[in-house]
Amino acid sequence: MDGDDAIAIVGIGCKFPGAENLDEFWRVLANGEDHVKDIPKDRYDVEAYYDSDPDAPGKSYIRKAGLVSGINEWDKMFFGKGDNEAKRMDPQQRLVLECVYKAMEDGGITKANLDRSETGVYIGEFLNSFGRAMLSAKNANKDYMSVPQWCFNMFDFTIIYFF
């Protein structure tokens, strides 16, 4: 490619079950490690929703999952988030922020490098169960919720705002 069609991948930031970064992910793959485990109670109350019948309404037949660690551990102040916003922020957005920051760091790119640059942000998103839960009747009247916390296509704007 040349000219206006050129694209460069200059850094990678990632997090997977059993791996906090790309090097650890390669180790997981090379060793054939299986990080699908019983879902811990602090992540999801399996017993409250489990049913062996996959067609049971309102139930799940899943007891195990591949989960990333530290889902609730992140430096909200570093990313400029207050307590209220951080509490209601989709965990996927937090992971995306962390991974994009790691990718920029991996590529030697700083926020200053990106200022007024022609840089695009493209993020593939999947499932928005957190947003649906936050909009449910039991959560609807608590404090406030900003658009990026429930709007499915706002992940890239969260990144743009930070950088």
User: What is the per-residue DSSP string for 58-85?
Assistant: T-B---EEE--S-TT---TTTTT--HHH
Q: Are residues 84 and 152 in the same domain?
A: yes
> Could you tell me if 106 and 12 are in contact, meaning their C-beta atoms sit under 8 angstroms apart?
yes
Q: Can you tell me the distance from the alpha carbon of 154 to that of 14, in angstroms, rounded to the nearest whole number?
A: 19
Distance CA 151, CA 53 (A): 32
- Which residues form the domain of 53? 12-69
- 52 within 8 A of 24, measured Cβ to Cβ: no
Residue 10 has what pLDDT?
A: 81
Last residue of a domain, one of 33, 48, 69: 69
Are 87 and 156 members of one domain?
yes
Residues of the chain with pLDDT under 70: 1-3, 124-157, 160-161, 163
- Domain assignment present for residue 1? The answer is no
pLDDT for the residue 54: 93
What pLDDT score does 148 carry? 47
Based on the domain organization, do 62 and 133 belong to the same domain?
A: no
Q: What is the pLDDT of residue 138?
A: 54
Residue 18: the pLDDT is 96
Does residue 116 sit within a domain? Answer: yes
Helix-, strand-, coil-residue percentages of the chain, each rounded to 5 = 40, 5, 55
Q: Using alpha carbons only, what angle is made at residue 130 by residues 126 and 52, rounded to the nearest 5 degrees? A: 85
CA atoms 72, 74, 75, 80: torsion sign: negative
The pair phi, psi for residue 60, each rounded to 5°, is: -130, 145
For the full predicted model, state whether its pTM sits above 0.85.
no
